[in-house]
Amino acid sequence: MAELSSNLLMIAFILYLSAIPFFGGAIRQKNISKTEKPLKIWATVAIFLTMTGFAAHLGYFITRWLAAGHAPVSNLFEFITFFGLCTVGAFILIHFLYRTPVLGLAVLPVVLIIIAYAGMFSRDISPLIPPLQTYWLQIHVITVALGQAILAISFAAALIFLVKKVDQTRRNKSNVWLEVVLFLMLSVVGFIVVSVLFNAFHYSAVFQWTNQFGAEESVEYGMPPLIGPNEGQLVKGQFEPFLEAPAIIDAKKLNTVIWSLSTGIILYILTRFIFRKRIGAALKPLTGNINEDLADEISYRSVLIGFPVFTLGALVFGMIWAQIAWSRFWGWDPKEVWALITWLFYAAFLHLRLSKGWHGERSAWLAVIGFAIIMFNLVAVNLVIKGLHSYAGA
């Protein structure tokens, strides 16, 4: 059953990848004269492939649930793949409401990166530790993933808006920050690249180190150690680290982040060399026929729907689970803090939108920043900062 689950996820990945060029073809059909009925074959094939991929993705989730005996949302691999599933589901719903093919061209690459990113973590099915042995875990995590997926659609629509709106003919703050966003997306791709590369060469380095409680532990690196653990001694491997991390920082995961950013820089330089222009400028022609007001509306409405769902999952259901697992509703754990920061940010987003009239480019930037906070919580907090939720990185 576990093998079937993995195969279904791979099928979903391939189908999502196959749908992208068809969404691109559907955009080009906008050039057809208004007096001639536009051919919809490209868009039809694109959404068919996406929905078939979604069915395979859902099949992965169900079969893994059957294999594990519990909802597969208990570690980073399971949560991230479920996050990708929810993102595609939200996109399909919005596609049938607004019929905007370019949204697929923005959402599906993000989903592919999400699935590939999840694949870098352990796929092993393990018994649940005591704090996870409650159905409130399933309610909490599933609702959080669904809320974040809807907010991811807001990010995709905002990114489309910014690529079209930002002036690429001259250097300004907007196109600089847009490049930063696109660079960070390339850094996630960089993480995937370096993980696959070092896994292919079976690289390994082992340290003995002292944790924050003074106990001796062993940790194995899958990438050359640029950052070593606290009071770490290299017992296997050839490369000594340049720096030593404090005990409260997970040095192995911080090392992974540094490698990812470094590879992202290399990929960005190569991309700029190939296109001979900024990435935002290279993408701009794809948005030539996009209605800016429609992109703005999709971004706003996604936040309007995703925010209350996230509120239920991250705060209300999260507090109930925390009370059951740790006998307190709130403990200022890093994940709890960043969930609160995310909630406060999107609350401010809606306030500025509804009360202050922040529309268009300002609203789009807020949607991008909000999703950046979500990804920081998913990537940096899980991979670097230690806390009660650190089991999720296992």
Q: Residue ranges of the domains in the chain?
A: 2-168+277-393, 170-176+190-276
Identify the residue with better confidence: 248 or 7. Answer: 7
- Asked if the model's pLDDT at residue 30 lies above 80, the reply is no
CB neighbours of 271 closer than 8 A, spacing ≥ 6? Answer: 186, 279, 282
On the question of pLDDT at 91 being above 80, the answer is yes
Q: 256 — phi, psi (to 5°)?
A: -65, -40
In the predicted structure, residue 306 carries a pLDDT above the cut 80: yes
Among the ranges given (67-76, 243-252, 276-285, 313-322), the one the predictor scored with the smallest mean pLDDT: 243-252
Among candidates 259, 261, 260, 253, which has minimal Cα distance to 380?
253
Q: Answer yes or no: is pLDDT of 227 > 50.
A: yes
Question: What pLDDT band is residue 387 in, cutting at 50, 70 and 90?
Answer: low
Region 83-92: mean pLDDT is 93
pLDDT 10s digits, 230-282: 777 887 877 788 888 777 777 777 888 888 889 989 999 999 999 888 888 88
State the pLDDT confidence band at 390, using cuts at 50, 70 and 90.
Answer: low
Whether pLDDT at 393 is above 50: no
134/358 Cα distance (integer angstroms)? 42
Q: Are 122 and 394 in contact (CB under 8 A)?
A: yes
Predicted pLDDT of residue 63: 92
154 — phi, psi (to 5°)?
Answer: -60, -40
Six-digit token string for 101: 């093919």
d(CA 33, CA 23): 19
Q: Is pLDDT of 335 > 90?
A: no
Q: What is the mean pLDDT of residues 329-352?
A: 87
Q: What is the pLDDT of residue 29?
A: 47
Q: Lowest-pLDDT range, 206-210, 268-272, 323-327?
A: 323-327
pLDDT at 35: 37
Q: Which residues pair with 236 in a beta bridge?
A: 206
Q: Highest-confidence range of 258-262, 339-343, 376-380, by mean pLDDT?
A: 339-343
- Residue that is written with structure tokens 């380095």 in the block: 205
